[in-house]
Amino acid sequence: MKRGNLLIKNASQVVTCSGSRGKAGKEMQDIGVLTHAYIVVEDGVITCVKVGDVDDKPYVNRGFEVVDATGKCVLPGFVDSHTHLVFGGYRQEEYNWRLNGVSYMEIMRRGGGIANTVNATREASVEALVESGIRRLNTMASFGVTTAEGKSGYGLDLDTELKQLDVMRQLNKVHSLDIITTFLGPHAVPEAYKNQPDAFIDFMIDRVLPEVDKRGLAEFADIFCEKDVFSIVQSERFLKAANRLGFKLKIHADEIVRLGGAELAAELKATSADHLLAASDAGLAAMRDAGVVATLLPNTAFSLKTDYARARDMIDMGLIVALATDLNPGSCFTESIPLLIALATREMRMTIEEVITALTINGAAALERADQIGSIDIGKKADLVVHEFPSYAFLAYHIGVSTVEKVIKNGVIILDKAHEGAY
Ligand code: NIG
Ligand code: FE
């Protein structure tokens, strides 16, 4: 991993999102805007953030890269804390069926859905998965994402689950973005365990979890807790077993049917509960009291043609809300942050400030990394994005269009649209 020495000067705004833990409720409005400021990065780490002019000569003499951000704003890199970025094949026909009124669960019952991607992922070579993974990470980076979570769950057998996680380990080496890995073995009940979800959970606990643990392939464990997939009891059994091995917990909770996934996440002190479209008030209050991050996925609701999660209520109740793309080949095939911002501000009644918090420090909190990334603070990794407009307000106002100009990872410019000429 390269670490750069860099000076960003004359920024119209530096939006610090300052903090070292997830922000809850009203705190989400506070994004810490500095007007006309500069940032110094040494050896990939932020060492100075100040308002005012700076003399760049001493930095030039020491070989620093200098970025003049006149008329631009600088934000922390986005943290996309929920994706399924490694998979084989596509399911474009399902998107059309849904546009014509067929539901996600109906497609699953017909034998499509996750099972379809499982077959394609089992057949895919490691090389093909790495290659498509790189392309997706490049697209994420173009939207200003500097850290992404990635889940397994398209293997549902020992070898393919390990293969997916190993692909993410390889991607971490070849790509500048950081990938935080989650083991989502219980993502669906595979054909071999048809109508035997308990036996499949046993297999996951006895055979697969220990192997993932032994090889150090994942930091989090996750389960699709949903009616006709895995019950609350099965989810609790799997997550407790994972926790005993030291995995931190996530849960696909209360997405379609109110099963009580939010309550379970609170009881188990999961790091995050994700989706939550059908979560109860009691479940949300329990999550708030337990400090569980509510990760909302508006692009998925758009793609499934469902209502959106109750972000406004959750923030008003005092929860820590994060936003993520949920990139996957079925329910949500998009890496788009501009779409997410448009939906969160317009359909979920979040302010642009809350959205920025949800994509930065709260995304970092959803990955237990709020002390390392997600804000522009001294001592944090220099994962920074220069946006082409003078104010962060343009991130919502320039509807559906990426405002990203430069992406900086560990103090190194990894993407720069400023040098592109006319086509
Ligand atoms: O988070 N809900 C379950 N899992 C994914 C979808 C996976 C798929 O359809 O391939 C999600 O939306
Ligand atoms: Fe998901």
420 pLDDT tier (thresholds 50, 70, 90) = confident
Whether residues 123 and 226 fall in one domain: yes
Regarding pTM above 0.95, the answer is: yes
421 found inside a domain: no
Q: Say which residues have a Cβ less than 8 Å from residue 262's Cβ, sequence separation at least 6.
A: 253, 254, 273, 276, 279, 280, 283, 284, 286, 287
Give the model confidence (pLDDT) of 94-153 as tens digits.
999 999 999 999 998 888 899 999 999 999 999 999 999 999 999 999 999 999 999 999
271 touches ligand 1 (CB under 6 Å): no
Burial 139-174 (b: 16+ CB within 10 A, else e): ebbebbbbbbbbbbbbbbbeebbbbbbbbbebbbee
In the chain, how many domains are there?
Answer: 2
User: Of the bound ligands, which one is closest to the alpha carbon of residue 87?
Assistant: 1
375 touches ligand 1 (CB under 6 Å): no
Mean pLDDT of 205-210: 98
Whether residues 95 and 59 fall in one domain: no
32-46, 103-117, 175-189, 355-369: least confidently modelled range: 103-117
Mean pLDDT of 66-74: 98
Whether residues 213 and 324 fall in one domain: yes
Indicate which CATH number applies to the domain containing 50.
2.30.40.10
Q: How far apart are the CA of 261 and the centre of ligand 2, in A?
A: 14
Whether residues 70 and 88 fall in one domain: no
224 touches ligand 1 (CB under 6 Å): yes
Whether residues 85 and 116 fall in one domain: yes
Whether residues 30 and 96 fall in one domain: no
114 touches ligand 1 (CB under 6 Å): yes
181 touches ligand 1 (CB under 6 Å): no
Whether residues 287 and 203 fall in one domain: yes
Whether residues 147 and 238 fall in one domain: yes
Q: Say which residues have a Cβ less than 8 Å from residue 49's Cβ, sequence separation at least 6.
A: 14, 16, 34, 37, 38, 39, 40, 376, 377, 378
394 found inside a domain: yes
196 found inside a domain: yes
Whether residues 276 and 317 fall in one domain: yes
Indicate which CATH number applies to the domain containing 122.
3.20.20.140
- Pairwise CA distance, residues 350 & 356, whole Å: 10
Q: How far apart are the CA of 293 and the centre of ligand 2, in A?
A: 15
1 found inside a domain: no
300 touches ligand 1 (CB under 6 Å): yes
- Phi, psi torsion values for 356, nearest 5 degrees: -65, -45
Whether residues 249 and 305 fall in one domain: yes
Closest ligand 1 atom to residue 104 Cα is 9
Whether residues 63 and 90 fall in one domain: no
Q: Which domain holds residue 394?
A: 6-75+372-416
- Boundary of a domain, candidates 343, 365, 387: 365
Whether residues 194 and 248 fall in one domain: yes
